[in-house]
Chains A and B, each alone.
Chain A
Amino acid sequence: MPVDWFPLWLSLRVACLATSFVLTVGTFIAYLLSHKSFRGKNLLDSLITLPLVLPPTVLGYYLLVLVGRASPLGQVYESVFHQPLVFTWQAAVVAAFLHSAPIYIKAARAILESVDYRYEWAAHSLGASEWRTFWRVTLPLARRGLSSLATLSFARSLGDFGVTIMVAGNIPGRTQTLSVAIYDAVESGNGRLARILVLVVSCTALALLWPAAHVSPPPERLPRTSRSSAAV
């Protein structure tokens, strides 16, 4: 019996899209958390941690309620794209995003905080706007850490199962991602297919993570002084 490769391509596509959303939205939120003080910052931080601790089924249920066909958000989506979100492969992207964004944001926040503030101050006092400073100074200095984080979140997006099966379902040839296909193969007693897919997932993950360990050496650092002691 020939192996159907659709789940692999779908998973890669979903993971690519989810990762690009994570990189843009996640980096933005991580920057807010690391560089700004605002009301509700701790609440936002807790909300971001929530998906890490809730069972995938609970998360999936929330999503179904939030973007289901009857919900306001679901209807807005339907009126824009002329199709429902739930039980499509696009819903799998949302699920994968939810699966990988919390970890990315938490780690990216720490990386952005570790960029020496004196470089940013120097850029500001030279007259560079915050936007320019972010693109030309903060981001390049954090690039090393953020790019290995991006790999990690790609790998995580690839592997989501619980939320995906709740909101995207298990429709072969349409919404069946790799991890769902493995579950399906094991359930239906197709041991050979399960073994092949498991091997494919493992190799893909390894191929992603291995190069991430070989990144260039860290840039020169200024001697550390804490922000508070430098201020006095």
Chain B
Amino acid sequence: MKLWNICAAIAACSLLAPAVALAQAKDWSSIKIATEGAYKPWNFTDASGKLIGFEVDLAEDLCKRMKAKCEIVAQAFDGMIPALNTGKYDAIMAGMNITDKRKEAIAFTEPYGRTPSTFAVLKSSPLAKLPDADKVYSLNPEGLSVAEKSINDLKPMLKGKVIGVQTSTAQANFLEKYFKDVVDIRQYKTTEQHDLDLAAGRVDGVFASISYLKGVVEEPKNKDMMLAGPRYGGGPLGFGVAVGLRKGDPELLAKFDAAVKAAVADGTVKTLSTKWFGFDITPAH
């Protein structure tokens, strides 16, 4: 039977030959980039199923600079890092923030965008009156004590409420760290799902990046949604959005890094982000 098993295994592998793609040799002339495809306006799909968005445009620009041919594929957000490490693709550009936790698993380039995160609620909700609206707090060591004080100020109003967040995100980690025993945190696979539940009133609020929420509350079908409360950045929320790469690919990291730095320096990022977000997300150095 041992021969049988080996034959079966080989047969199965050859059946899969068309589905299998050997990853690139080290010259990186052809790169596969993963994005989510459901995080407007960073990356989303249009009516015909094509991937579009800020990061899709930026990826094309970076690849031009690196003189490589790029293929962009869609992938569910919560599976991105494990799949990168097993070699399904070579890079991640999916609105993914650099966080200490993620840095243990993968490597990041310099950030190409930085936006804080905040709450979105229904206008009719009591949470619409969250204090400190629009104030920005940094959770990095310099501003941590001030930020934590504002977090504590929020806790009485948020007590017992249900807040939706996308799973595997820096925002989810932030909520788990600071609000675990105060709110009922619901983790959703996609941002669309928590928006649907916010509209239905299943959750009292959602917590996500301003770059995403701003687009959401401006849509006509969401006219009863609004941003609320202060905005947080840094610390568990990460140090900016960057390209994610495997730790074992230092040459690719160097190439992407150089391309990102150049795109930031010559204003490409500013132009693209103004086009897609309406404001500039270039991280101030």
A, B from the same assembly: no
Give A contacts to B, CB under 8 Å. none
Give B contacts to A, CB under 8 Å. none
